[in-house]
Structure 1
Amino acid sequence: MCGRINVIDDPLCQLVSDVLGINFATESNPDLCPSQKVATIIQPGQFQQLNADWGLNTHWQSSLLINARAEQVASKPTFKDAFVHSRCLVPCSGWYEWKSVTTDNKAQKQKYLFSHSDNEPFYMAGILFNPESPQLVTLTTQARDHCNDYHHRMPVLIPKEEISAWFDTPSHQLNELMHNATTTTIKVAKVA
C-alpha cells in the first residue's frame, strides 16, 4: 500500500537534480509518514519542486487519504480532476511494507525496505490537491513479481526515461505507463 517513504538526501538530491535539470533539495527522512511534508516534482511548463503534505483531508473520511488506485484514478470523482490537471512525482530512495511473520510461535509484523538495486531514485506517481496548501496522494497498482510476496499493492513507479511522458501525455493515455513499470530493479531488505 505504501504508507511510509524513505528519503535520503545524499545522493537522492544530486541524482534527481541531474535527471531533471533543476536544483532539487530535500531533507533526509528515512521514515516519512503520511501528514508530513514531502518534496514533489511538478511541471507547469518546466520542472519545479513543490513541497506538499502527504495525505488528503476529506469531509467524508476521518483518516487521511494517502493512496489512490491507479486503475480507478481516472474515474473516481475525488481524483479525476487532479489526475488530469495536477500530476506530480515523488522522488524517493524507497518505501516500506510490513509482512506478517511468525517468530518463536508469535505473530509479528516485519518491516521491509524496497529500494532500487542500482541505488537510483524512484519516482512515485502522485496527484496534488489544494494549490494554496498542497496535499498529495500517491498512486498504487497491483504488486507484481517479488513485490507481491509482501503486499498486494505497490506504488506506481515512473521510469526516469518516462518522466516527461507522465506530465505531457493526456491522462486517458497513461494506463500502460502506470501499470507496466518493471520491478526487476527493486531490491527488498529486512529492516531491524
Structure 2
Amino acid sequence: MCGRYSSTKAPADLADEFRAVDATGDDTVPDFNVAPTKQVTTVVERHPRDDDGEPVRDRTERTLRRVRWGLVPSWSKDPSSGARMINARSETAADKPAFRRALSSRRCLLPADGWYEWQRRDTDTGKTKQPYFTCFQDGSSIAMAGLWEYWKPKDEKLLAEYPDGLVTVAVLTTEAVGPLADVHDRMPLVLDPGDWDAWLDPDADSTAPAVTRLLAPPAAALVDRMELRPVSNRVNNVRNNGPELLEALRPEDVDEALQLDLLNTGTNP
C-alpha cells in the first residue's frame, strides 16, 4: 500500500526531470510527510484545446499540477469517499467502477523522494510497527503510477463550497518485489523513466498493450536501485514534517524505536 510519502523537490526541478511545464502555482512547499487529503503534485499529459474547446489531437502538453490525494469518483454525491480511496490495486482497477474510467483515460504520475511503509512485528511485549523509507539510491524521483478524476457537485450547498469542482488522485499499488516484501506485501506501482511516455499517453486506453503491461509489479532491476532503511516513528504523526524523518536509524536504535511504538500505538498509521 502507500499511505505516506515524501515530496520535497522544487517544481522547477521536477519539471526538468519529467520534461513537463510547471502549472502548480505558488502553494507548493517541501513536504516530508505527505498524507491523504493533502494537495500533491502530479504529472499529467493532455491534448490542449482550441478556442472552441475542442482537443487538438496532433499535440500534447505535459504539465505538473496540484490535486488532492484521495480519489472522488465523478458520480459521488459528496467528496467524503476520497479519504478512503487513496490507493487502487493495479490488478483490479480496470474492473472497479471507482477507478475504471480513470485508468482508461486519466492516468498520471506522482513524483516522490520515496515512500514510507510499516513493518508489523510481534515482540515479547506486544505487536509493533517499524516504519521504513524506500527511495532510489541516486536521489532521482520515484514515479508512482496514479489515476486522477474530476468531480463536480450537483448539490447547491456543495457547489458553493466547490465552485470549480475537485480534482483528486489515487496511487496504484502492486505486489511488493524483492526485499520490499519483507516489510509489506504491497508497494506503489513504480514506473521506470522509459515507461513514462506510454503511461501518460492520452490516446492509449486501459486495454492498450503498452498500458496493460505496466500494471505488473516492477522489474527486480528497478527495485535493486532502491534503498530501504528504517526510520523514526516520528513519521507516524502527520504534524511532524522535516528532513529528520528521512534519517536512517542505527541498527541498535531500531529495537528502542519499537519499544517507543508500543507506548504510542494510538499514533500508528
Q: TM-score, normalised by structure 2?
A: 0.65
Q: Distance in 2 between matches of 1:162 and 1:62?
A: 28
Aligned to 2:206: 171
Larger Rg computed on CA atoms? 2
Does residue 191 of the first structure (1) align with residue 231 of the second (2)?
Answer: yes
What amino acid does structure 2 have at the position aligned with 1:108? T
Structure 1 residue runs without a partner (length 5+): none
Instruction: Give the CA deviation at 1:40.
Output: 0.4
Aligned pairs, number? 191
Residue in structure 1 matched with residue 160 of structure 2 by the alignment: none
Whichever residue aligns with residue 166 of structure 1, its letter is W
Per the alignment, residue 90 of structure 1 pairs with 110
RMSD over aligned Cα, in angstroms? 2.3
1:130 deviates by 1.5
Structure 1 stretches of at least 4 aligned residues deviating more than 4 Å after TM superposition: 57-63
Q: Measure the CA separation in 1 of the matches of 2:17 and 2:186.
A: 30
Equivalent-residue separation in structure 2 for 1:63 and 1:21 (angstroms) = 28
| 1:31-89 alpha-carbon deviations (Å, 9 max, x no partner) | 10000000101101211111111002456959521101001111211111111111111
Q: Which runs of 5+ in 2 are unaligned?
A: 47-59, 152-164, 233-269
How far apart are residue 13 of structure 1 and its match? 4.9
Matched, 1:27 2:29: yes
Aligned to 2:4: 4
- The one-letter amino acid paired with 1:56 is L
More strand by share: 1
The answer (yes or no) to whether the contact 1:89–1:124 under 8 Å persists in 2 is: yes
Partner of 1:48: 63
- Asked if 1:147 is matched to 2:180, the reply is yes
For residue 17 of structure 1, report the CA deviation from its aligned partner: 1.8
- Cα pair 2:37 2:83 within 8 Å, conserved: no
TM-score, normalization by structure 1: 0.89
Q: Deviations over 1:109-161 (max 9, x none)?
A: 11110111111101111111126310111100111111111111111111112
8 A Cα contact 1:16 1:24, kept in partner: no
Contact 2:20 2:43 in 1 (8 A): no
